Structure 1
Amino acid sequence: MSSLQERNIAVSHARAEAFNRHDEEGVLSCFDKDIVNFGRRVGHAGIRMVHQDIWTRFPDASLVSKETVAVGDCVIERGIYSGTHLGVGRLPVDGGLLIGVPPTGKRFAVQHIHWWTLKNGLIVEHRANRDDMSMMMQLGLLPAIPLVAEPANVHEAPVEHRNVTGTAEQERNIAVIRAQQEAFLRRDLDCVVSYFADDAHNHGRAGGPERFRMVFGNIFKTYEQLGDDTGIKDIVAVDDCVIARFERTLKHIGAPDIPIDGGLLMGVPPTNKTFTQRHIHWWTLKDGLITSHRACRDDVGMMVELGLLPAPPPFPVQ
């Protein structure tokens, strides 16, 4: 790992430590004054408002890192976000469904994946996906659905990475993921499933290729992908992992039999509406096969676009 990547990881860790001790100035010191958040320039004012709102809603909010990797000018962190709902939020953060909601007094713990871009030792851009649907279920604000409300990954041990990049094995791993996503685009279920090892885990749960066959079969039943590309916006390989950020346009054409993508579409007649699917996926590979998969998705955003959850107001910082 280069000295630049070591410094970038140190900034990411410093930001997390400041977040966990609710140190506003410590958090801001890690961000460039022109920070871009989810494609919008919000600056320090926006970052300050987001953190104040989080700490008001969840006075014990914390984010514990489970995996952190650095590649190029990016740091990608997968962690467990937790807290107790003891205050009233006013901003459309964490899915935007908690604005004005009285405290439930309930605790939650869910997965986040954050993707930071840094320059000169400061974060200049941030994107993330979160298990907001699970958070809302744990707080009792949406119906609890098994396998969604109680994610399996919460109690896992942290994984350390050496952050080795650029090897032939990593080039092959990226090629494997790209090939699988091309098969996904073709709706070739057998080919998609063939890339999983016999002992592959999904979100910490065992099941192997047959579990993935069930998941992808229901995805194909529920959505039609529009466009002719895989939707990969960023893809990196570090150590034995491949991480990719997706944005793709889908059409809601059916109802799944299992709780995919937050679970709330089970039993819902197709709306035939289109939406933008935003995911971050984190795979571990060995000998050219996927042995573990985890992901975070903007399930709340999907449900809002489909007209099945209320749309939050826009973020106030322009």
Structure 2
Amino acid sequence: MSDRSARYKNLVLALNHAFNSGDLSGVDGMLTPDFAERGMPPGPDSYKTAVRLLREALDEPRSEVLGLVAEGSTVVLRVRLTGVHVGEIVGVAPTRRQVDVEQIHFYEGRDGRLAAHHFIRDDLALLGQLGIRPKLAAIPQAKIATLTRYAG
């Protein structure tokens, strides 16, 4: 692994540790000033806000690293997110139910910091764990066919 890949890998692990500990004081130094996260304004403050909201939604939140690969400036992280649902999450009021979902995070580095974050979450599994079952009748048939194709 190159020194560059190792640097970005260590930054992703440090970011995961910051999530677990709730100590976000070092995040500004890990992310570029224009850090890009899907659906959020650019910059470290948006990232820190998202982490705080998720930590408020889950009691004893934990992001357990299941896998990590780095190539050049790209790092892929697979985690298991666990906690107890105590605050609003994905539009659902607190249920006090246990949450246990896997996620995949993609990070891109630039100039020694992380510059972008993309992720894949299984929100349907999360909703199921929270006791929410979407009504399939409300989903267009074409969408169901597409979902079924990718459901395995």
If the length of structure 2 is used for normalisation, what is the TM-score?
A: 0.79
Structure 1 or 2: more helix by fraction: 2
1:195 to 30, 35, 38: 30
Residue in 2 that maps onto 1:108: none
Residue in 1 that maps onto 2:13: 178
Deviation of residue 204 (structure 1)? 6.8
Deviation of residue 255 (structure 1)? 2.0
Amino acid at match of 1:304: G
Q: Measure, in 1, the Cα distance between the counterparts of 2:59 and 2:17.
A: 14
- Corresponding residue SS for 2:25: helix
User: Where in structure 2 are there 5+ consecutive unaligned residues?
Assistant: 137-152
Q: Measure, in 2, the Cα distance between the counterparts of 1:271 and 1:182.
A: 26
Residue in 2 that maps onto 1:237: 70
Residue in 2 that maps onto 1:295: 119
Relative contact order higher in (CA < 8 Å, ≥ 6 apart): 2
The question of whether the paired residues in 2 share the 8 Å contact of 1:203 and 1:294 is answered with yes
- Corresponding residue SS for 1:180: helix
Amino acid at match of 2:85: H
Deviation of residue 309 (structure 1)? 2.2
Residue in 1 that maps onto 2:47: 212
Given the superposition, is the C-alpha separation of residues 193 and 221 from structure 1 closer, same or farther in structure 2, using an over 3 Å criterion?
farther
2:86 to 232, 249, 253: 253
Larger Rg belongs to: 1
The question of whether the paired residues in 1 share the 8 Å contact of 2:40 and 2:46 is answered with no
Q: CA RMSD in A?
A: 2.3
Q: Measure, in 2, the Cα distance between the counterparts of 1:171 and 1:255.
A: 36
- Total equivalences in the alignment: 136
- Corresponding residue SS for 2:66: strand
- Identity over aligned pairs, percent: 23
Amino acid at match of 1:264: G
Amino acid at match of 1:182: H
Given the superposition, is the C-alpha separation of residues 226 and 205 from structure 1 closer, same or farther in structure 2, using an over 3 Å criterion?
closer
2:100 to 261, 264, 276: 276
If the length of structure 1 is used for normalisation, what is the TM-score?
A: 0.40
